[in-house]
Amino acid sequence: MTVRVTGRPPGRRKVTSRAELEQVAFDLFWEYGFERTTVEDIAFAAGIGRRTFFRYFPSKNDVPWGDFDGELDRMRRQLRAVPAEVPLLQALRTAVVDFNRIAPGQLLAHRRRMELILRVPALQAHSTLRYADWRQVVAGFVAERTGHPAAALFPQSVAYALLGAAVAAYEQWLDGGQDDLAELLDRSVLALAAAFSAA
């Protein structure tokens, strides 16, 4: 077996990238709305064939998600780095807040992205499928901490609840009453603590 050192792989080069395609699509979504932008519109604007679009994104619904899998990796690493002394709840609070820390320059883009994901019905529905992976990251961490299997009720329940808190916070953020996303996320998790502590 030959080891490839520097070389690019053989074969025709990709004609575009997910990021570029995403940018083109976002512009169209912003101008005409998600529903009224067809895949053909996006492909045409990007100068590729409709068929090729589906080689970059499995569906139109996946466009707003950017490199979500990469973000999940980041979150996994961050969670692994949390010292064992940190209590579970605090670790989760920090994780949610950190995961959603956005560079100031990308705030507007992120807001638009989340507006699509959480407000367009088709995308709102689709989000459940993408967020499943997020939940599994959280459930895995909780499982590690508590000794439960990741698929057990406790980790799953906590993961679902935490996701819920995060989404609720995002919706407030999008509604515009409060600009500080990090604070909203934190308050949302603390709201659960308040509501569910009187066992």
Residue numbers at the binding site for a copy of itself (CB under 8 A): 87-89, 121, 124-129, 142, 151-154, 156-161, 163-165, 167-169, 171-172, 175, 184, 187-199
In terms of C-beta density within 10 A (0-12 exposed, 13-18 middle, 19 or more buried), how is residue 7 classed?
exposed
Ramachandran class of 147: left when φ > 0, alpha when ψ lies in -120 to 50, beta otherwise: left
Query: Site mask, DNA, residues 35-74, x = CB under 7 A?
Result: --xxxx------xxxxxx-xxx-xxxx-------------
Name which position in 1, 3, 13, 197 contacts DNA (CB under 7 A).
13
143 vs 91: CA distance, rounded Å? 13
Q: Which two tokens stand for residue 135?
A: 């939940």
Nearest alpha carbon to residue 115 among 72, 60, 173, 58 = 173
User: What is the length of the chain?
Assistant: 199
Q: Return all residues near 85 (Cβ < 8 A) that are at least 6 apart.
A: none
Residues of this chain, 153-192, that bind DNA according to CB under 7 A: none
Closest CB to a copy of itself among 1 and 194? 194
Interacting partner of 9 out of DNA, a copy of itself, none (Cβ under 5 to 8 A depending on kind): DNA
The answer to whether 156 touches 63, Cβ cutoff 8 Å, is: no
Least distance (Å) between residue 118 CB and DNA: 18
Judged by CB under 7 A, the number of residues near DNA is 29
97 vs 70: CA distance, rounded Å? 17
Q: Which two tokens stand for residue 147?
A: 């000794």
Least distance (Å) between residue 50 CB and a copy of itself: 22
Q: Answer yes or no whether residue 123 interacts with DNA by CB under 7 A.
A: no
Q: Answer yes or no whether residue 121 interacts with DNA by CB under 7 A.
A: no
Residues that bind DNA (CB under 7 A): 2, 4, 7-16, 37-40, 47-52, 54-56, 58-61
